[in-house]
Chain A
């Protein structure tokens, strides 16, 4: 493993206004500014993949089963349908470590999806 580890980061919330989202944005920004290899995977309105220096953003569209978990925060219990896509992206990224922020939503993928 190189001195700068490749981090695959799974978060439930990113663009919303809450502490976890802010932490996620700050962490991602930290990696982006330093051009560290960083993969950020999260739920979003639309699926898309973007690159920003060393940081890759993977947004997974929440589906019709998504419901409001908290103000401005939606939870999609069916987000696992993106499993194959996420597994492929992560394998391609070749992370040294996987970081998840909670048991919910996309975070589940980092720890449980491909282990099934």
Chain B
């Protein structure tokens, strides 16, 4: 719709879908050994992250709930990413007029939205934003 109507598309990140998907899958393959379960979960997580990143690349501007996700999305999509600060005043801006600021609030704990592997985020910069390296660095 955004493409057809030639409108800017903003996409916000609220859930780590790749981790959620892998976690759900792990429940169904619980009967497997720990090693096989871990490997399947990892493959699933990688595939979902690939798909999610492809989706976020459609956006003209992205929003993320914490600095780590801002950096990750900037790195993996190459799109402008802005922080959705908690309890800040929303300010509707669009990429057409001026740089977007905060577009919404978010709630809940930051930890829930922070990817498990973000602690090793520095590896992304070193890897030149290669998602494969990003994933390996966190395992």
A and B part of one assembly: yes
Contact residues of A with B, CB < 8 Å?
Answer: 1, 4-5, 7-8, 18-20, 22-23, 26-27, 30-31, 36, 86-87, 90-91, 95-104, 109-115
Which residue in B9, B93, B94 is a CB contact (below 8 Å) of A110? B9
B14 and A19 contact, CB distance less than 8 A: yes
Number of residue pairs A-B, CB distance < 8 angstroms = 113
Q: Which of A4, A22, A102, A114 has the most CB of B within 10 A?
A: A102
| B98 to A: closest C-beta gap in Å | 11
* A100–B112 CB distance below 8 A: no
A20 vs B15: C-alpha distance in the bound complex, in angstroms? Answer: 8
Q: A97 near B5 (CB under 8 angstroms)?
A: no
Contacts from B to A (Cβ < 8 Å): 1-5, 7-15, 17, 51-52, 55, 58-59, 84, 90, 92-97, 103-108, 112-113
Chain A residue, CB-CB nearest to B61:
A97
B58 neighbours in A (Cβ, 8 Å): 111-112
